[in-house]
């Protein structure tokens, strides 16, 4: 249904299900991990994720206890992340998708951490920390344990 890859092309994956609802996370960790103003990550069941190529170059970094970020060790592209407490859900980095993905973001989250050089100039609701789950349930994230 969806195909994705890293910048150098050594990591390739497919998704057999559509990624779930997502937002833009402006938290410091997401800014560091993406190298940009915010992350755009959507959940998918791990059973729907198939690594097609790159099993020898994909690496995981534990960025905080129990939180693992998978990336290409050749080019550095982030691919997905997951919590060891919820290993059946992975959060795909939407920028790695090659197949057009047309869902719209539901929220700006952790706006209290946003970079001062980033203007937010759209009508998507903004939240200082997590969005309420009624607005955006970020499956597989720490929102579930808040
Ligand atoms: Zn790569
Ligand atoms: Zn974040």
- Smallest-distance ligand from the CA of 113: 2
Which pLDDT score is estimated for 77? 98
CA–centroid distance, residue 27 to ligand 2 (Å)? 4
Question: Where do the DSSP E strands lie in the chain?
Answer: 2-5, 12-15, 23-25, 39-45, 49-53, 58-64, 67-72, 78-83, 89-93, 108-109
CA–centroid distance, residue 95 to ligand 1 (Å)? 13
* pTM score: 0.94
Spell out which residues have Cβ within 5 A of ligand 2, the ion.
25, 27, 30
CA angle 145, 129, 17 (to 5 degrees): 60
The residue extents of the domains of the chain are: 2-96+106-122
* CA 78 – CA 38 distance, rounded (Å): 13
Could you tell me if 14 and 99 are in contact, meaning their C-beta atoms sit under 8 angstroms apart?
A: no
Q: How confident is the chain (146 residues) per 10-residue block, as mean pLDDT? A: 98 97 96 96 98 98 96 98 96 98 97 97 97 95 79
Q: If you classify domain 2-96+106-122 with CATH, what class do you get?
A: mainly beta
């Amino acid at each position: 249904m969806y195909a994705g890859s890293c910048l150098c092309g050594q990591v390739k994956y497919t998704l057999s299900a559509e990624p779930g609802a997502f937002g833009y996370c402006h938290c410091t960790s997401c800014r560091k991990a993406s190298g940009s103003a915010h992350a755009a990550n959507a959940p998918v069941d791990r059973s729907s994720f198939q690594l097609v190529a790159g099993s020898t170059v994909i690496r995981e970094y534990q960025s905080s206890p129990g939180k693992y970020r998978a990336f290409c060790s050749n080019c550095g592209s982030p691919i997905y992340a997951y919590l060891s407490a919820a290993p059946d859900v992975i959060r795909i980095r939407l920028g790695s998708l090659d197949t057009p993905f047309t869902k719209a973001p539901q929220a700006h989250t952790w706006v209290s951490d946003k970079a001062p050089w980033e203007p937010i100039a759209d009508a998507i609701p903004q939240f200082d920390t997590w969005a309420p789950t009624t607005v955006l349930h970020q499956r597989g994230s720490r929102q579930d344990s808040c």
